[in-house]
Amino acid sequence: MQHTLDAALRYREKFNFGVIPIGGDKRPLLKWTEYQKRKADPKEIREWWKKSPAAMIGVVTGSISKLLVIDCDTLEGFEAIQKLIPDTLVVPIARTPRGGWHLYFCFPENSGFTVGSGILPGVDFRGEGGYIISPPSRNEEGKAYTWMPGLSLDEAPPAALPDSIFNLFKKYLYIGHDDKDPKTMSSNVVMYQKGTRDDDLFHAANCLVKGGMQKNEIEQTLTLLALSCKPPFPLNEIPAKIQSAIQRAERRERNLTDEVREWVLSSSGVFLSSNVVNCLHLSSRDEQKHLSTILKRLCAEGLIEKYGNKNGQFRTLDKDEELIAWQNADITPLGIKFPLGVHEFVQVHKGNTVVIAGESNAGKTAYCLNLARMNAGLMPVNYMSSEMQDGAELAIRLKEFDVPESVWEPIKFTFRTDNFPDRIKPDALNIVDYLDEGTDAEAYKMPLRIRYIADKLKSGIAIVAIQKDPNKRFGLGGSGTMNRARVYLTIQRSGVLTIEKAKIWRDKNDNPNGKFIQFKLAAGCRFTNTKPWQNPESKN
């Protein structure tokens, strides 16, 4: 794709990185040994992407690109590395399609750092002889590598590797890297020496603050440690270290409070504190203890209340009161038409939200494009795509319909990957194709994100497409994604569309909930049924 080629050329020309093409299996598409010592020129890069336009961008790490990248696959690993990075250091960070993190650092000259795995649980690094896949590459599932907001290479150049991480890597490479037990590895490290004492004292301050020690006691303890350093650490710098540790703890507390609050707001009904622990991956005892405090605080605020006799069981409370002016309500259906005749069984009214949960490559985008085409004359259509950034891809898909271009002119197509509520047109037909939370760990946010979209509507409607696991009934985010939907459809790759939820029936004597139809998708755009609509009992 053109934007991937442009990015590859930019990495080469602006950042002076070595670049190679990577296939969907994350392996180079060529013999790349020579490119560990020689940078490909722009002409070579263009030829590679002309041959493989869907290739991902591999940036060669090590001295040739003056780049070292830390790859964190787990939240535990990412947080462990974050603890080793001084608060004042800004590091470029990319997110992977599977929810990992890539942290970009300058490669330390003459360090000899190559490629390492398991230096901490869930943490690898790429130096000499390695490469990293960089944004905006997309994997085989179409999911992209992205820069974290404000932390792209344009906004934050690669940072110098902190001494704390340098020493960790050095220990891994030279003190027995076959021993993957962090506790055993740590026993070989000499602390409070020149080159490490600054980070060691800051780590000690963080531990003491986290443990709840009083500020004056922390100062006394750090003073003793500072005097025992070789050479002694300047005592006048101790207060700044303590204050920095306190600020870090306060930030973490605020972040966890916000996450728990968001989880609670996206939930409904009864839940257990263990549900929050599992969804937010709260692994440490301190985090779980803090969770208890946060839940008590939310009880005091009236957002939740203790429920039943089971310990750690709560119920969400909704105290919002919005009077419904039913006397003058317009009960005329909008007349929205759906592919495969869903509209023959359901009614859609002003302000409604429709959710389409589809398996990967099951036809979500084709279904959304058909919805846009079939209803373009009913009201303005605001089509937001999170995948078709490249105008060429959209043009190809529209041409498959074999209709005049004028059919598509009333539809406004835009590229958008997040903050969809900001671009919802309250009185239009809004199509979000698709709403992606990124990882299963973040799935709990999906019901709340759908709610935020629904809250923006007035006389218009929203069609929200989301991903669905083939092994699960509902889309990413579970049954909570049904909360605001007046119509909820699922699409299976095997060619089955099901009406999972329909609040308003077109025929009061014909319940559409659970009805399904088998279909085939031709030319990537034409839906035709292979069997008529069937009732749910037919599946048994």
CATH number of domain containing 381: 3.40.50.300
3-class SS letters over 297-322: HHHHHCCEEECCCCCCEEEECCCCCC
- Residue 180: the pLDDT is 39
Our measurement of the distance from residue 173's CA atom to the centroid of its chain's CA atoms, rounded to an integer in Å, reads: 32
Task: Specify whether 304 is located in the same domain as 340.
Answer: no
Residue bearing the bigger pLDDT, 317 or 242: 242
CA–CA distance, 464 with 371 (Å, rounded to integer)? 12
CATH number of domain containing 297: 1.10.10
Residue bearing the bigger pLDDT, 431 or 116: 431
Task: Specify whether 440 is located in the same domain as 528.
Answer: yes
CA–CA distance, 485 with 432 (Å, rounded to integer)? 14
Last residue within a domain, chosen from 186, 214, 247:
186
Task: Specify whether 375 is located in the same domain as 521.
Answer: yes
Cα dihedral sign, 261-245-286-439: positive
Residue 253 predicted with pLDDT over 70: no
Beta carbons within 8 Å of 109's beta carbon, 6+ residues apart: 63
Overall number of domains in the chain: 3
CB atoms inside a 10 Å sphere around CB 456: 18
- Residue 184: the pLDDT is 36
Task: Specify whether 520 is located in the same domain as 410.
Answer: yes
Segment (H or E) for 431: strand 429-435
- Residue 410: the pLDDT is 93
Residue reference for tokens 């003459």: 110
Average pLDDT over residues 27-49: 93
- Please check whether residue 192 lies inside any domain of the structure: no
Task: Specify whether 463 is located in the same domain as 366.
Answer: yes
CA distances from 465 to 341, 369, 426, 511, 528 (A): 18, 11, 18, 24, 20
Last residue within a domain, chosen from 186, 217, 234:
186
- Please check whether residue 85 lies inside any domain of the structure: yes
Residue 431 predicted with pLDDT over 60: yes
From 358, 485, 491, select the one nearest 434 (Cα to Cα).
358
Task: Specify whether 34 is located in the same domain as 121.
Answer: yes
Residue bearing the bigger pLDDT, 531 or 83: 531
- What burial class does residue 27 get, using C-beta atoms within 10 Å of its C-beta: 0-12 exposed, 13-18 middle, 19+ buried? exposed
Predicted TM-score (pTM) of the model is: 0.49
Task: Specify whether 176 is located in the same domain as 59.
Answer: yes
CA–CA distance, 218 with 210 (Å, rounded to integer)? 11
Last residue within a domain, chosen from 186, 212, 244:
186
Average pLDDT over residues 278-294: 74
- Please check whether residue 25 lies inside any domain of the structure: yes
Task: Specify whether 159 is located in the same domain as 258.
Answer: no
Task: Specify whether 280 is located in the same domain as 348.
Answer: no
CA–CA distance, 399 with 413 (Å, rounded to integer)? 15
From 518, 505, 513, 501, select the one nearest 340 (Cα to Cα).
518
Average pLDDT over residues 220-236: 87
Residue reference for tokens 């089955």: 496
Average pLDDT over residues 288-293: 81
- Residue 540: the pLDDT is 58
pLDDT in tens, 448-491: 889 889 999 999 999 999 999 888 899 988 888 998 999 999 99
Domain extent at residue 383: 335-539
Task: Specify whether 306 is located in the same domain as 343.
Answer: no
Task: Specify whether 221 is located in the same domain as 125.
Answer: no
CA–CA distance, 408 with 315 (Å, rounded to integer)? 47
